[in-house]
Chain A
Amino acid sequence: MTTSKTNPREPHSLPYYITDPTPLPSHIPSVPEIGATSAPLLSASYFIGARCAPYSEDFMLCRSQSRTGEMDCLKEGRRVTRCAISVLEDINKNCQNEFRKHWGCLENENHDLSRCRLDEAPLNACVAKFLSLTKVIPDSDGTPINDYETPSYFQKKVKAKYEQ
């Protein structure tokens, strides 16, 4: 945006922080919020996607068709939140050590999933065994992630850790 005589610059002012401690009105049913921070949420995201696919697709469809965005789709949003909380509870109950190693690695590596494959493989195996949720890349042909036909050296290492 170039400023000129006919286009004076916009006024810059200091930011003004708005907080609102009033809770939601009582006619809206309350739902617990997800307490996971960014690294555990990224680690569990594919499993949340696998289990909560119908609810999240409902929510996205409702939001794209609605007039006001989220305000018309609070019910679908509550369902998504409850489903995600259930996935996180199950992972914490069954696979907590692998989960913590994986998101600890992610937190160290700038949240780059490709740098934490060695820790991701046992987590995928544990979750597939106990929760029967598999990680599937969306918009791909649906093959499981750790299933390589001609594995490279690194992929062989991942596979060895997978089948421990």
Chain B
Amino acid sequence: MIPFEALLPYGVIIIMFGVAGTGMSAAKLLREGGNKPRVHRDAWDKMMMERDMRLTREYRKQSDEPIAPEDFKTSSVWRASRIWDD
């Protein structure tokens, strides 16, 4: 029979892995509003998520209204970079 003191380190390791994994998962769920994180985002997904942000002003909050608020029409943002001619 193995004394229980010999299994304590295993318990410590398992608990530490568990705490780390749970903490990571909880942090991700808190960030994404209860959903799993989006992975493999391509340019289309990034464009749609930026549009979602303009519509709902919160990260990954969705709305299924048919008609958008009036300020959505003029809230587009284009990204450019400066070119210096010197």
Contact = CB atoms under 8 A, between A and B. Distances in A.
A154 interface: no
Contacts of B82: 13-14, 16
Q: B interface, how many residues as a size bin?
A: 35 or more
Given A16-B81, A33-B72, A33-B73, A109 B36 contact: yes
A98 B81 CA distance: 44
Interface string B14-29: 0000000000000000
Q: A interface, how many residues as a size bin?
A: 35 or more
A38 B49 CA distance: 7
Q: State the majority secondary structure of interface residues on A.
A: mixed
Residue of B63, B67, B72 contacting most chain A CB atoms (<10 Å): B67
A108 B81 contact: no
Contacts, number: 101
A35 interface: yes
Contacts of B83: 11, 13
Contacts of A40: 62-64
Interface of B: 35-36, 38-40, 45, 48-49, 51-52, 55-56, 60-69, 72-84
Report the 5 A-B pairs with minimum CB-CB distance, sorted nearest first.
Answer: A35-B68, A40-B64, A88-B66, A35-B65, A38-B48
21 contacts: A16-B79, A16-B81, A17-B78, A17-B79, A19-B76, A32-B67, A34-B67, A35-B66, A35-B67, A35-B72, A36-B63, A36-B64, A37-B48, A37-B64, A40-B62, A85-B67, A88-B66, A103-B64, A107-B35, A111-B38, A111-B45
Interface of A: 11-24, 32-40, 85-86, 88-89, 92, 99-100, 103, 107-111
